Structure 1
Amino acid sequence: MFSLFWENVRIALDSIKSQLLRTILTIVIIGIGIWALVGILSAVKALETTISGNFASMGANTFNIQQYEFTVQTNRSGEREKINPIISYNNVREFLDKYEFPSTKTSLSFQATSVAEVKYGSEKTDPEVQVYGVNENYLENTGTEIDKGRNFTFFDIQNNNKVCLIGSDFEKNLFKDEDPINKSISIRGVKFKIIGLLESKGSTFGNNQDLKVLIPVQVARGIYTQPNINYNISIKVDDKQLMEAAQDEAIITFRNIRGLNPVEANNFGIERSEDLINRIASITQYLEIAAWIISIITILGSSIALMNIMLVSVTERTREIGVRKALGAKRSTISTQFFMETIVIGQFGSILGIILGVLTGFAFAKIFEFDFSLPWSAIIWATIITFIVAVIAGSYPASKAAGLDPIESLRYE
């Protein structure tokens, strides 16, 4: 059985070699369709894995109070229909005083700058360091881990201690050959003692999350005094069962802080990390549908090309078919031979498309610094689809070859 199978494969390969140019063109057409499918799905998977991972690190039991919802309605000119006031420091301070839901931790933060220059002795970084003002709950609520040292304490924040946490990239430049813990760095002329080194989190959309410095929020406010600072509030609920109640209490508290009456809509946004992950998943679904549509149209064209090349092959090999039949070859033997040729051509196209698709997804992930993983489902589907296409495209040529009259075939010139 296996010897017959490999013999059919060998004959198919010999036949392919005899019409190499047409076969290569057909393989390329099939490969382009599979390339579109695997390439787009690889890129989408890398995007979804990276973004979902970043939001998932916040935890399913975390929600944020922010200026706007994740999606905001815009008018025809592209402007927001509703302009919400920023989350000011007075809003944040009042919320911390009034929000007392049990088993919750509230963090506040703001980005002071993204172009800071950090100095250590005679060394300094490029002006591309992000500086954040945070409180003692920031790390836990954002899923950030400490690699060395310790986190901020309540007393560090309340006493405005000049201490800081630094990203892992600082070990690669400022502190190449030494332990950064308990060393002092300078930001805008203010010295900070390093108490902790953060675990690496990589980059997202070119935003390096490992080149940042966290300092107490009041100290950051004193150094960076720009107006209209927009703060972020994050609430973590220890018991997920209390999530809805904690969220409702937060909305009521913040509405009171904003002075809204019962009939007025919220002029702020509430977002849970789960909601963001679900929305990202729904967006990537459209990209996946587009990948399938593009690949199906291309593969449909390749199936027609494959059928044509096999019909030409049947015509060119009419005398060969007549000789085989005269020597006793059965209809099923002739049919199987042509089926095998179409399947071999289809699988060559599949392999080409899968390789190009994986390389495209890998390049996309590297360029945008996403987490790449092989799209096994797309690879499996690509193999199945090309097999089905080969069977469908080879059915008519194989049937035509098997049905040729041996006498007429021997007379064919």
Structure 2
Amino acid sequence: MFSLFRENIRIALDSIKSQLLRTILTIIIIGIGIWALVGILSAVKALENTISSDFASMGANTFNIQRYEFTVNSNRGGERKKVNPIISYDNIREFIDVYQYPFSQVSVSFRGTSGAEVKFESEKTDPEVQVYGVNENYLENTGTKIDQGRNFTIFDIQNNAKVCLIGADFTKNLFKNDNPIGKTISIRGVKFKIIGLLESKGSTFGNNQDLKVLIPIQVARGIYTNANINYNISVRVDDKEMLQGAQDEAIVKFRNVRGLSPVEENNFGLERSDDLINRIGSITGALEIAAWIISIITILGSSIALMNIMLVSVTERTREIGVRKALGAKRKTISTQFFMETIVIGQLGSVLGILLGLLTGWLFAYFTGFDFGLPWTAMIGATVISFVTAVIAGSYPATKAAKLDPIESLRYE
């Protein structure tokens, strides 16, 4: 049985070689459909892996109070989009004073700049360092971990200590092969002692999360004095069961901070990390469906091309079929041979498409800094689709070849 299968494979490959150009074109057509499927799903998976891991690191028991909701409805009827006021320093200070929900902690932060130049002795970085002002709860609420050294303490924040935490990329430029803990850097002429090195988090959407400096929030306010700074508030509870109550309490307290009356709508947004993950999942799910539709349409077109090439092959090999039947070949043997040829062509197209799709997904992840992952569902689906396509496309040519009259076939010129 195995020897017969191997012989059919050998005959199929010999037949493919005899009509190489048409076969290559068909393989490419099938490969393009598989490429679209695997390539898009590889990119989508890389995007989903990165964003989900970033938000998941915050934990399912964390929520943020921010200026706007995650999504803003498009304008309708020329209605002007509502502009929410910034979350000011007075807002966050008052919120921290009045929000006393049990087993919760509040993190406040703001980005002073994304173009700072950091100096160490005679060395300095390019002006592309992000500087954040934070309090002592920032790392835990955002899922950021310390690789070396320690976190800020409440005394560092309250006493406006000139200390800082730096991102992992500083070990590649300013502190090559050297321990940065205890060293002193300078930002805008202000000197900071390094007390901690953050774990590497990579980049998201081109935003390098490892090239940043965290400093106490009051010190940051003294350096970056823009009046329109928008602050971020993050609340974390120890038990997820208490999350809804913590959110309700936060909304009430922040509405009071904003001075809103009971009939006024919220002029701020509240987002949970798992809500963001679910929304992202719905977006990527739509992209996956689009990828499947594009791929199936392309593969249906390739099945027609594959059927045509097999019909041409049957016509050109009519005399060969007659000789095989004259030597005792049964209908099943003839049809199996042609089935095998279509399956081989289909699987070659599948392999080509999968390789191109994985390469596309890897390049996308590489240049965007996302986490590449193998789209196993797409790869298995591509293999199954190409096999089914080959079976469907090869059914009629194989049946036609098996039904040929051996005498008429031997007369064919």
Alignment: residue pair count: 413
- The alignment partner of 1:173 has SS state of coil
Aligned to 2:23: 23
1:62 CA displacement: 0.3
Matches for 1:14-93 after TM superposition, within 5 Å:
14-75=14-75, 81-93=81-93
Compute the displacement of 1:177 (Å). 3.0
Q: How does 1:59-208 map to 2 (within 5 A)?
A: 59-75=59-75, 81-208=81-208
8 Å Cα contact 1:103/1:238 also seen in 2: yes
Question: Mean Cα displacement is larger for which, 301-310 or 73-82?
Answer: 73-82
Q: Which sections of structure 1, spanning at least 5 residues, go unmatched?
A: none
Which whole-Å CA distance do the structure 2 matches of 1:8 and 1:160 have between them?
A: 80
Q: Does the CA contact (< 8 Å) of 1:73 and 1:80 recur in 2?
A: no
Aligned AA for 2:341? E
- 1:78 Cα deviation from its structure 2 partner: 9.0
- Give the SS at the match of 2:300: helix
Give distance in 2, aligned partners of 1:329 and 1:168: 70
State whether residues 72 and 80 of structure 1, in contact with CA within 8 Å, keep that contact through their aligned partners in structure 2: no
What letter corresponds to residue 122 of structure 1 in structure 2? S
Contact 1:116 1:130 in 2 (8 A): yes
Following superposition of structure 1 onto structure 2, how do residues 283-294 of structure 1 map, counting pairs within 5 Å? 283-294=283-294
Provide the residue aligned with 2:271 in structure 1.
Answer: 271
TM-score for the superposition, normalised by structure 1: 0.99
Q: Distance in 2 between matches of 1:202 and 1:223?
A: 27
Scaled by the length of structure 2, the TM-score of the pair is: 0.99
Aligned to 1:399: 399
Counterpart Cα distance in 1 of 2:73 and 2:343:
51
Secondary structure at 2:133's aligned position in 1? Answer: strand
Partners of 2:226 and 2:147 in 1: CA distance: 32
Deviation, 1:74, is: 2.9
Partner of 2:379: 379
In structure 2, the CA distance between the partners of 1:204 and 1:79, relative to structure 1 (3 Å rule), is farther
Change (3 A) 1:283 1:9: same
Q: Please give the per-residue CA displacement for 1:168-193, whole angstroms capped at 9, x wherever unaligned.
A: 11111111132111111000000001
Q: Who is 1:342 aligned against?
A: 342
Amino acid in the other structure paired with 1:29: I
Counterpart-to-counterpart distance in 2, 1:177 and 1:331: 73
Distance 2:395 2:176 in 1: 66
C-alpha separation in 2, matches of 1:49 and 1:79: 37
1:255-266 mapped onto 2 (5 Å cutoff): 255-266=255-266
**1:191-222 CA-partner distances (Å, limit 9, x unpaired):** 00100000000011111100000000000000
Q: Over residues 295-330 of structure 1, what are the superposed CA-to-partner deviations in whole Å (9 max), with x where a residue is unaligned?
A: 111101100000000000000000011111111111
* Structure 1 residues 55-109: Cα deviation after superposition (integer angstroms, max 9, x where no partner): 1111010000000000112315998621111100000000000000001010000
Whether the 8 Å CA contact 1:303–1:393 is kept in 2: the answer is yes
CA distance change for structure 1 residues 277 and 321 in 2, over 3 Å: closer, same or farther? Answer: same
Q: Is the 8 A contact 1:141 1:236 kept in 2?
A: yes
RMSD of equivalent CA atoms? 1.0
Letter in 1 for 2:405: D
**Which amino acid in 2 is paired with 1:359?**
L
For the residues of structure 1 that align with 2:377 and 2:220, how far apart are their CA atoms? Answer: 48
Distance 1:76 1:176 in 2: 55
Aligned partner letter, 1:299: I
Matched AA of 1:368: T
Q: 3-state SS of the aligned residue for 2:372?
A: coil
